[in-house]
Amino acid sequence: MQNQWKKVLLMGKSNAGKTSMRSIIFANYIARETTRLGYTQDVEHSHVRFLGNLVLNLWDCGGQEAYMESYFESQRDHIFRNVAVLIYVFDIESQQMAKDMQYFTLCIDALKTNSENPKVFCLVHKMDLVPEETRDQVFEKQEALIRGVVGSLDTTCFQTSIWDETLYRAWSQIVYSLIPNVAALENHLASFCQGCGADEVVLFERATFLVISHSTQKAFRDVHRFEKISNIIKQFKLSCSKSQAQFNRMQIKNSKFTAIIDAFTPTTCIMVICSDPAALPAMTLVNINNARSYFE
Residue ranges in contact with ligand GTP by CB under 6 A: 12, 14-20, 34-35, 37, 39-40, 62-64, 125-126, 128-129, 161-163
Phi, psi (degrees; rounded to nearest 5) at 291: -80, -20
Torsion over CA of 108, 205, 211 and 140, rounded to 10 degrees? -20
Q: What is the DSSP string of 135-204?
A: HHHHHHHHHHHHHHHHTTSEEEEEE--TTSTHHHHHHHHHHHTT-TTHHHHHHHHHHHHHHTT-SEEEEE
Q: How far, in Å, CA of 63 to CA of 286, rounded?
A: 50
Instruction: Give whichever of 100 and 205 is closer to ligand GTP, judged by the CB atom.
Output: 100
| Smallest distance from ligand GTP to CB 201, Å | 31
Instruction: Give whichever of 162 and 279 is closer to ligand GTP, judged by the CB atom.
Output: 162
| Smallest distance from ligand GTP to CB 128, Å | 5
Give the three-state DSSP class for 116: coil
Instruction: Give whichever of 20 and 287 is closer to ligand GTP, judged by the CB atom.
Output: 20
| Smallest distance from ligand GTP to CB 21, Å | 7
Helix (H), strand (E), coil (C) string for 71-96 = HHCCCHHHHHCCCCEEEEEEECCCCC
| Smallest distance from ligand GTP to CB 170, Å | 11
Instruction: Give whichever of 38 and 151 is closer to ligand GTP, judged by the CB atom.
Output: 38
Instruction: Give whichever of 119 and 126 is closer to ligand GTP, judged by the CB atom.
Output: 126
| Smallest distance from ligand GTP to CB 10, Å | 8
| Smallest distance from ligand GTP to CB 266, Å | 30
Sheet holding 154-159, edge to edge: 43-50, 54-61, 4-11, 85-91, 119-125, 154-159
Instruction: Give whichever of 44 and 186 is closer to ligand GTP, judged by the CB atom.
Output: 44
